[in-house]
Copies of this chain bind each other. A is one copy, B any other.
């Protein structure tokens, strides 16, 4: 039990130092390890297994909606990056440049992709000729590089893993529908699979993706009241098509420009999971992406029959489709409890001699500590029911946290007072649509516009800043 306490004490409390609490979890739950490559990290097996589960579910959702995976080069020649003006302005300052191949200086330097619009555009120009070639619904799972100054594991690193969807359509309506479809898929994934509530919205002009006509995003609220952008979906119109001369012959035999989208989600989601569900005992993982969904801990495992029964239950649960681990190591049961709490395993199954005698076991839910005793005859059904309850309970808890930290303000002074009283959180306030007011709110209060929620509320007739007629309700927050 001494070991037990040590484990728990090893994590800084989130109320004492939220940033340190986060760093403790990513290290001690063995999600990542630092490297000598500044701003880059090793994603360790436990962290990578979460990403693999995210990939598997999202990839299935993409394929169900007709998308195909491809793989583009990781390098972009400088001249190709330069083709779309807004795009290059947005990305050039933060790319890594390859200037040497072996011992020779390259004639043209290449950047390591920060995103792949330019490569997809070049490819589309090569392979799209007729309306029969459309739509192109492509995605790729790769890593990208952005030369960030300050980095944090999962949240902001110089290299990160992501998927980037790139689609090409005959009409603006189809492209717009695709942009919205992918935003909805992202929201559904976050809410149903990660048990993480999100707000769907449109970014303001100043916060759009470099080269986009419109950027949509889903915004989640972390434990500390800061917002985290969990996914983005961009509508490009025909801007890239014009810059890259992508044209197709339509049904009337006319050459026209197609319309385009792109959308992405990243390993940032793992950071979002940690800061939405984690607690002072460690990680709390949603069942859908947990590498281990059920950990079996034998009690008094030296007693005859305990390990055999534990192994039998493991095999039964595996057969029923759960990801199960039996820890039959010599560590104490107390140490094991702490260890798998730290690792966020959704459900713990305890089985000891008295349980076996009574043909039962104990199931303990990680997210709220609830323990129930179930008959071994109904184990599979009880575990399935628990998984659903855990996902629903985690979602409700996160939703309640968000509600408690969401406030309506109608003046800049109210925003200041609200933050002083409640700390960080979402602030709903009306906005006139002028960038000047957006900047001023940020300057005066520290909160920036996260998005214009698709579901609007009317809190006032006038802008929170200038008092002129309001155009939109905006969600404001300090963001990761």
Contact = CB atoms under 8 A, between A and B. Distances in A.
Interface stretch (A71-79, A196-204, A272-280): A71-79
29 contacts: A33-B126, A33-B127, A35-B72, A35-B73, A35-B123, A37-B73, A37-B75, A37-B77, A37-B110, A40-B75, A41-B73, A42-B70, A42-B73, A42-B119, A42-B123, A43-B70, A44-B70, A45-B68, A48-B68, A71-B161, A74-B74, A74-B112, A74-B159, A95-B102, A99-B100, A100-B109, A101-B147, A101-B158, A102-B147
A71 B93 contact: no
A399 interface: no
A271 B127 CA distance: 22
Interface string A32-60: 01111100111111001101100000000
Contact of A97 (B33, B45, B76, B99): B99
A77 B37 CA distance: 6
Given A35-B123, A74-B159, A159-B75, A69 B48 contact: yes
A215 to B, nearest CB: 22
Interface in A244-297: none
A33 B124 CA distance: 10
Interface in A67-108: 68-77, 80, 92-103
B102 A94 contact: yes
Nearest to A91: B102
Nearest to A51: B71
A143 interface: yes
Contacts of A51: 71
Contacts of A100: 96-97, 99, 109
Contacts of A126: 33-34
Interface of A: 33-37, 40-45, 48-49, 51-52, 68-77, 80, 92-103, 109-110, 112, 119, 122-123, 126-127, 138, 142-143, 145, 147, 158-159, 161
Given A41-B73, A161-B71, A93 B97 contact: no
A96 B93 contact: no
A36 B34 CA distance: 35
A327 B80 CA distance: 37
Contact of A73 (B44, B93, B138, B159): B159
A80 B36 contact: yes
Contacts of A92: 102
A142 B122 CA distance: 23
Given A33-B123, A100-B97, A45 B73 contact: no
A332 to B, nearest CB: 16
A37 B71 CA distance: 13
A145 B74 contact: yes
Given A69-B45, A71-B48, A102-B94, A37 B76 contact: yes
Contacts of A143: 71, 74, 142
A89 to B, nearest CB: 13
Nearest 9 A/B pairs, CB to CB: A40-B73, A45-B68, A97-B100, A101-B147, A43-B71, A37-B73, A102-B147, A99-B99, A96-B98
